[in-house]
A and B are shown apart, each in its own frame.
Chain A
């Protein structure tokens, strides 16, 4: 029966047609599609690698920045600390200087006062002596010699506490 009797011509035609179709598809369809898929895979891989590289660079950069910031902070703290110390020292120096200066001025003033006091006492002494001599001369009118004058003055002066006068003036 012809239905189940294969025709050699048709067998050859079907193989030929199929093979031609297969090679055409390989060249014009499967090939380009596969190339496109490969190109996409390469491009994705490349993108991933590049992203990874960028991420690593960014991380390194960030670490560098962090380190720089940490260093700067530390430096700033040191500078502030140093400045503090310098300030403290300066302050102490200034205070000490000021105290010394003040003390010196006080001492100078005290010396001056003592000097002035002594000078004043001496002047008072001299004037009192002159006045006493003058008064005594008028009272005694030549009854007393020069030596008597001096003796009387000394006696009078011993009774007057000049030290108290000096202390009161200081």
Chain B
């Protein structure tokens, strides 16, 4: 599992090591894959590769669906379209103004699918590096890109920027910020209320990103801890091993639920924020 676990008896196990290694640039032939932008280093790390894998999976699924849908639908297609329309017209239309749904549904759907596949990919062990002990065998690791704060913050920033851009586009820059304070509030209080609202907007950004990241991170640490227990208690009884195995299974099953619900929450909250900015409450 972690490199520390392989370095003799003195090594201490830390499940978080997996997450630290994930942001290091991948080395190919001793050369680190990274694009230097001066201020930033665009490292091609395991996180980035996971993002790409997820994006490719989402694209292939959607592209495949787009290729098989027909004007004269099969029964399956009717059911699928029914589900699609239900999500659009009931779940999304419930949080956004009707006229904005059509324009924003693709964005929210992409968000949902991208986050969902990223979350679920975390439950699939992938052969990411060569084993230190068995040089010819790959070492499998389970990692989710969404358990990295950078990824969730990136997506949240996108929603944040789009929210305020759409707010200003639909209400005018001045009108949009004017609506941040209630029109009935006393003039003296207005700056204070504006500040409170501004802070709340920033915290929306943070809560959106931290919610997803923390849920996924916690789930994965739990799974890794349970896996680690197998190594740590490898000399223990069969009963204990079976118990741990059961624990991994239970948490993995729960993680599937978390993956779905967190992807849904992120997408639907993005819809709520963007919808709220387009159609401001006065």
Contact = CB atoms under 8 A, between A and B. Distances in A.
Nearest to A44: B71
Interface residues of A, number: 33
Given A22-B110, A25-B58, A29-B66, A14 B151 contact: yes
A25 B42 contact: no
Contacts of B45: 9-10
B203 interface: no
A19 B16 CA distance: 29
Q: Contact residue range for chain B?
A: 35 or more
Interface of B: 16, 19-20, 23, 39-43, 45, 47-48, 51-52, 55, 58-59, 62-63, 65-67, 69-71, 81, 106-107, 109-111, 114, 145, 148-155, 157-158, 217
A34 to B, nearest CB: 8
Contacts, number: 115
Contacts of B63: 25, 28-29
A132 to B, nearest CB: 131
A65 interface: no
A28 B43 CA distance: 29
Interface string A1-27: 011111111111111011111101110
Given A3-B16, A5-B149, A25-B106, A30 B62 contact: yes
A10 B59 contact: no
Interface in A88-103: none
Given A2-B20, A3-B16, A25-B58, A18 B153 contact: no
Interface stretch (A35-43, A74-82, A106-114, A147-155): A35-43
B106 A9 contact: no
Given A7-B43, A25-B106, 15 more contacts: A5-B149, A9-B43, A10-B43, A10-B47, A11-B151, A13-B51, A14-B145, A14-B152, A17-B51, A18-B114, A19-B158, A28-B66, A29-B59, A29-B62, A29-B66
